[in-house]
Structure 1
Amino acid sequence: MTTLPEPAPRPAANAANTGLVRSVLRSPRGAIVVAFLVVLILACALAPLIAPYDPLAQHLSAVRSGPSGSYWLGTDSLGRDLLSRLLHGGRSSLLGVLEAVVTLLIVALPTGLLAGYLGGTFDRIAMRVAEVVMSVPVVIILLAVLSIFNHSMTSAMIAFGVLGSSGLMRVIRGAALTAREELYVTAAELMGLSRLQVVVRHVLPRCRGAIIIQASLFAAVTLGVQTGLTFLSLGPPPPAATWGGMVADAASVFNQDAWMLVPPGATIALTVLAFGLLGDVVRDVSAEKYAAAPASRRKRRTGTPETAGRPEPATDMLLSVRDLSVATDGERPLTLLDAVGFDIAAGETVGLVGESGSGKTMTARAVIGLLPGNCRITSGRVVFDGSPVQDLDQRAFRKLRGRRIAMISQEPMAALDPSFRIGSLVAEVVRAVDGIKGKAAHARAIELLRMVEIPDPEAVARRFPHQISGGMAQRVAIAMAIAGRPELLIADEPTTALDVTVQAEILDLLRSLQQQNNMAILLVTHDWGVVADVCTKVVVMYAGQVVETAPAGEVFDRPAHPYTRSLLLSSPENTHVGERIQAIPGSVPTPQRWPAGCRFASRCDLAQPGCTEGAIPVKDISEGRLSRCLRVDTLLGGEARR
């Protein structure tokens, strides 16, 4: 097959093409703020070398003198050089800020990330502890620490960092909750990455802006608190040089010499302002970055299960699902999938068909062990290659995902993390599934991009996701999925967002990869054209149940369920030009409104009173054909048997 190169889209805004630090430095405000802070920190750090005088040396002949060639910023009431004291005092002040911020990040960063990503019991406990810490009176605790530890400002700043961590923890948790919903995070899980890898590589970068903003604002607050404590002589005792102590000295002689307040006061004010502006710049740059390269939020769809009615899994099948039911947690569980069942043989392509809300995606996620956090499998079995997998924990599932079972989502662009280049994303999966690193991982990534017929894979590997087209993004997603040489590929509507030409190319690519690797495919779709093109068997779902299972050819020739027939008639391919599409009246009922009898009865033109009286059993029509309908004899002309 010949694949035409896809035109590259227009470059996005500069903020999306560069890193966060570089974007901050390109901003005029950011450059000024960073330059000021760097100069200040270096000057204070090098104070023993560049300060003109000893900060404690008294020059009694120049008491309270103004700025001059000998004393650039003047002297205090004891004749000590203000510039020297300012530089030496900045060392303890900035060190205290650093101690508090580092403590803040050590406590809040891992706790907030894990609470947002993992949720559940850990989240509840962490948030309750945070609420207790936020209720503690900070000033009283700091005074107690200073009293216990003999005015140790280091102890006070560490305590202040711990007490302030609860606020940042909640912010990080919120950002992590949002990042967890992104499709690229789900894609990383599907590729077999560990939780630590997902959190560090994909969740943390999305929270980076919020972390820097809150840390810079906390640094400003910390400097103010520390200055206040030293102003009250609760820190290092005089004559030690501290910014707060210099302000206290100036306040005591303000009526005689107001200038003494200017150097320390201006320095403190400018430093606090710089920390605050740094947070503003990072916020603006982060907003611009993600506006230039948006990522769609992951859509959780409440789906329904399939039902096949065979009692035992088929041992000769690669995947067998039997009586699989999924429900929500809570006091009043809500069933989302109801006794779903189907089989997939090695090398077979099975189409999972139904309207939105029928449960297709929920079924696929149940198979691969990635149900939403508030859902669980309540009954049934999922057997993969002869081994039950429905009760595996997440660690065991990660050994399957990305290696033996892989999944590609219906929104390829959103499944790619916008923070990383294409080559890095593919190489990350390679490192996870093959254990190779460095140049070998990069070479394998390029090989995978070439396997999915991407023109000039080396150039594409250097691009960010927003710099490639939707069709190319789907090819990248497929490359990541096949990195572990899976035996089963779950494709969730892989061609929905693509134009007709690109759809055909993607389907041809999947078919080619399947033939090369004898890979089975579970194709989740609502497109009968796609089913006719690639599927050998069809499983039709409606309102959480499987209503028909049959070879693809027989479904098109003689559908054995009124819903299947209605879906086929409503397909645009079966409507002549100028005719009205035969849309199915009504909509799929929500799980809260599932009827006791046939769930399609209210929309069915063959419905009888018996259809609504009780649960509808599955009929075995013939070899490989199942139907959940009391009127199947009418549909097939009397050929059906029980």
Structure 2
Amino acid sequence: MSAKSPRAMSTGLFRRVLRKPLGVVSGVVLILIVGGSLAARWIAPYDPLAQDFSIVKQGPSAAHLLGTDSLGRDILSRLLFGGQESLGGVLVAVVTMLIIAIPLGILAGYVGGLADRIILRVVDVLLSIPGTIITLAVLAIFNNSMFVAMVSVGVLASGAFIRVFRSAALSVRQELYIGAARVAGLGRLRIMAAHVLPQIRGVLLVQVTLFSAATLGIQTGLAFLAFGPPPPAPTWGGMVAEAASLIQSSPWLLVPSGGIIAVTTLALCLLGDALRDANQERFTLAGLERGARPVRAGAGAVLVPDAATVPDADREEALAPNPDALLSVRGLTVGFGAPGRETTAIQRVDFDIRPGEVVGLVGESGSGKTVTALALLGLLAGNGRITGGSIRLAGEELVGMSNAELRTVRGARIAMISQEPMVSLDPSFRVGYQIGEAIRAHERVGRAETQRRTRELLASVRLDPAVADRYPHEISGGMAQRIAIAMALAGRPELLIADEPTTALDVTVQADILDLLRTLQEETGMAIILVSHDWGVVADLCSRAIVMYAGEVVERAAVSEIFAAPRHPYTAALLRSNPHGARPGEPLPTIGGAVPPPHEWPVGCHFAARCPLATEACRQAPIDMAHLPGHRSSRCIRIDALAAELSEVAS
């Protein structure tokens, strides 16, 4: 097994370019032009400054392949030497632009916030500066120095490219594999360099080639206006200027001097298109290497009273974290929006997870399950943030930690796997490289140990180590989910959050993944929070369940107790609509209506509009959590009516 590096991936990119005729032709043309200019001293047939008035303005011949100019100088030799100045100026401008635009563009797009606003203001200033006037002023100040002029061109052009790279980074930032990298504990710089930059490479290559072509026009245009090296030093622009003055008497002179600029510009554009297409093929079946072969492939939660249900004198004691719990969450509230105008997405969430415990977090889409899970890791998207409550991991408070401090928690102590394993993997890298990256994020190990651990992790999730040599698009969904689990285990976490890990898989693969999670939990002793809307999955894996609806916990109990006698109308409705309990020939019961969005939450019970047992009292004020015998809790004032109804149905 070998985890392939970015260098190997770049080799694959150029191999795909070689399959494109236009890419090959344009690349060969550029190599000949650049190579000829660099080797001009050795391959030019004549001294570019040598004059012979006996052969002025001659056309192509055996002695002078491209003819001679008005002073009898060999045109081919002057083009070769002139390319050094012209192409060198292009290189200076491009490098200057990239040094500025790439880091600032990715920083603005990925980090956002204050950094984004500051960078965009700088960009606005750069775009408002008249580039032509500044370039001419620089030439006047620095004694016609073309080097300084090209640096100024690169600086002024960087503003537009910062915006381009920022837009590309913004789209990449939303990908789940970026979130997975953050969960694994990777730092911002590593994510930007190893995951964001490769994804914008297609945009980068196209923009570089187009800017190179445009810069060549600027450079030769300045030389045409007699800026830069003074005559008789050869430059492409200077040769065009001379040919233009003699176009009536010697039109041929414009063909080689203007043709070399046109051919170079066209070759740059065509090569950019080929590179872009080849980069896109990396993520499609068209990018598969020829001849490649596919690989075959316990204890209960400690429940505490809700803060809103106890007298003020007892509230501090009720909110105290459980010292025996691995994870102790108290009064967790999350809001989205500007400070002071937040829209609350979850509120008053309390629960404990003990070491080695498997707890199900159940509810319909929109209930707040995933937001709760992401809040535990400090990975709330956009302008989301924790506005209240406490999260303690083994007694250590996580709320208020900086990103740097949270990175020591993500992956190493709390890991997460998502319901979309395929998009959680970076398509730019082979599987083995990504697992190895997760290992190196938490352990200082060498290449050999990284490979050994990668093989070990793949074996632990029942995969052939040869899978490490595949890209994500070459594996199945079930294999991708196993790989995501392997990456989550790389940091040896104490708690694993599994966000609907079987939703995107077929029934047979679902059973395999659940069996794998059960085995890994028994072998490692880690606790698991299983986010799901499938009661069958919860019953198969979990000992306790936390039911959420519209941002609130509505019931907490052992799974067996919930199945036997639910104590909240929403839980009972979920169980009735469970497909696993459907009777042949009878329609499956459904819950009328939909989960209300946060800005439409009612004052009273959030489920009242859909609840057949709701009364006016349910709608008048927030419902407190009722604590029942056997460490059960329910956010309902109609528990007795529900129990009576269920007893009548059972009888």
Task: Report 1:270-349 matches (<5 A).
Answer: 270-292=263-285, 308-309=306-307, 310-330=318-338, 332-349=341-358
Task: Report 1:82-481 matches (<5 A).
Answer: 82-292=75-285, 308-309=306-307, 310-330=318-338, 332-454=341-463, 456-457=464-465, 459-481=466-488
Query: Runs of at least 4 residues of structure 1 off by over 6 A?
Result: none
Does structure 2 conserve the Cα–Cα contact (< 8 Å) formed by 1:308 and 1:626? no
| Aligned AA (2:473) | H
| Aligned AA (1:365) | L
Match of 1:609 in 2: 616
Does structure 2 conserve the Cα–Cα contact (< 8 Å) formed by 1:410 and 1:495? yes
Per-residue deviation at 1:329? 2.7
Inter-partner Cα distance in structure 1 for 2:240 and 2:577? 80
From 514, 519, 529, the equivalent of 1:522 is 529
Match of 1:503 in 2: 510
Does structure 2 conserve the Cα–Cα contact (< 8 Å) formed by 1:404 and 1:488? yes
Does structure 2 conserve the Cα–Cα contact (< 8 Å) formed by 1:293 and 1:466? no
Does structure 2 conserve the Cα–Cα contact (< 8 Å) formed by 1:168 and 1:211? no
Does structure 2 conserve the Cα–Cα contact (< 8 Å) formed by 1:539 and 1:546? yes
Per-residue deviation at 1:500? 1.3
Q: Are 2:69 and 1:61 equivalent residues in the alignment?
A: no
**Unaligned segments of structure 2, at least 5 residues:** 1-8, 288-303, 308-317, 647-651
Does structure 1 conserve the Cα–Cα contact (< 8 Å) formed by 2:184 and 2:488? yes
Inter-partner Cα distance in structure 2 for 1:525 and 1:35? 56
Is the partner of 2:424 in helix, strand or coil? Answer: coil
From 454, 464, 487, the equivalent of 2:494 is 487
Per-residue deviation at 1:253? 1.1
Inter-partner Cα distance in structure 2 for 1:307 and 1:136? 63
Per-residue deviation at 1:54? 1.1
CA deviations 1:158-198 (Å, max 9, x no partner) are 10001111111111111101111111111111111111111
Per-residue deviation at 1:505? 1.0
Match of 1:302 in 2: none
Inter-partner Cα distance in structure 1 for 2:225 and 2:324? 80
| Aligned AA (2:507) | V
Inter-partner Cα distance in structure 2 for 1:18 and 1:45? 25
Inter-partner Cα distance in structure 1 for 2:519 and 2:636? 37
Q: 1:156 to 1:196 in 2, by over 3 A?
A: same
Does structure 1 conserve the Cα–Cα contact (< 8 Å) formed by 2:305 and 2:627? no
Inter-partner Cα distance in structure 1 for 2:259 and 2:141? 33
Per-residue deviation at 1:17? 11
Inter-partner Cα distance in structure 1 for 2:532 and 2:190? 31
Is the partner of 1:533 in helix, strand or coil? Answer: helix
From 551, 559, 571, the equivalent of 1:552 is 559
Inter-partner Cα distance in structure 1 for 2:17 and 2:89? 25
Inter-partner Cα distance in structure 2 for 1:162 and 1:293? 38
Per-residue deviation at 1:292? 4.3
Inter-partner Cα distance in structure 2 for 1:540 and 1:435? 41
Does structure 2 conserve the Cα–Cα contact (< 8 Å) formed by 1:511 and 1:534? yes
Does structure 2 conserve the Cα–Cα contact (< 8 Å) formed by 1:307 and 1:339? no
Is the partner of 1:77 in helix, strand or coil? Answer: coil
Does structure 1 conserve the Cα–Cα contact (< 8 Å) formed by 2:56 and 2:72? yes
Per-residue deviation at 1:591? 0.6
| Aligned AA (1:283) | R
Q: 1:571 to 1:18 in 2, by over 3 A?
A: farther
| Aligned AA (2:138) | V
Is the partner of 1:620 in helix, strand or coil? Answer: strand
Inter-partner Cα distance in structure 1 for 2:83 and 2:520? 64
Match of 1:35 in 2: 28
Does structure 2 conserve the Cα–Cα contact (< 8 Å) formed by 1:308 and 1:342? no
Per-residue deviation at 1:308? 4.6
| Aligned AA (2:333) | S
Normalised by the size of structure 2, how large is the TM-score? 0.92
Does structure 1 conserve the Cα–Cα contact (< 8 Å) formed by 2:306 and 2:624? no
Inter-partner Cα distance in structure 2 for 1:264 and 1:605? 85
From 531, 552, 558, the equivalent of 2:538 is 531
Between stretches 468-477 and 618-627, larger displacement belongs to: 618-627
Inter-partner Cα distance in structure 1 for 2:645 and 2:238? 98
Give % identity.
55
| Aligned AA (1:243) | W
